[in-house]
Amino acid sequence: MSIAVVGLDGLARCPWGLSAPDYVAYHDEEWGRPVRDDRGLYERMCLEAFQSGLSWLTILRKRAGFRAAFAGFDPERVAAFGPADEARLMADAGIVRNRAKIQATIANARAALDLPGGLGAFLWRFADPDAPAPKTTADVPAITPASTAMAKELKKNGFRFVGPTTAYALMQACGLVDDHLTGCHRRGAYR
């Protein structure tokens, strides 16, 4: 069971937030910060789907490549992608070249555009701001009833690669739930 760990800068962080230099900035500046705009949520959803089965560090290090390949994660532009774009993406070493995940990213852009009220309004219905504060990493769930419900609703609306675990990772990353550990300097920072 890991608790918040004090780094060389004197700040306590979730242990994973100190495991690699790239993680420090991500942990401190992004993870858990509320994202409400459709483009930002679409980007995070896509990156979480690409991360499935891989290290998040791999995705973070390829993030600029993903943004370039997927038109800055503009759902309207990605929704217009066709077979030539899919072939281009499969040849792009700057991203994870997984055909199913690439196709899901395109399909999810189309599905996001079809949501009444937009992706932000849709996803934030599942927010759980009153979830108990985890004291250790063992207290952080992989899925919750809310993430299971979110995944079910996303799939019903045409989204792909959004199972309950991916949905929960999205909730954590975008501030729908605060899973910074008790004692972490970011815990409650965005309330």
Catalytic positions, written as ranges: 26, 48, 56
Cβ pair 22, 165 in contact under 8 A: no
Q: Contact, 174 vs 30, CB < 8 A?
A: no
14 among annotated binding-site residues = yes
Separation of alpha carbons 78 and 99, rounded Å: 15
Question: Is 185 assigned to a binding site?
Answer: no
Cβ–Cβ under 8 Å, residues 108 and 46: yes
Compute φ and ψ for 13, nearest 5 degrees.
-135, 165
Q: Is 46 annotated as a binding residue?
A: no
How does DSSP assign 13-29, residue by residue?
E-GGGGSSHHHHHHHHH
Give 101's contacts (C-beta < 8 A, 6+ positions apart).
49, 50, 52, 161
Instruction: For tokens 């499935």, name the residue.
Output: 52
Binding site membership: which residues? 14, 27, 180, 184
Binding site membership for Zn(2+): which residues? 14, 27, 180, 184
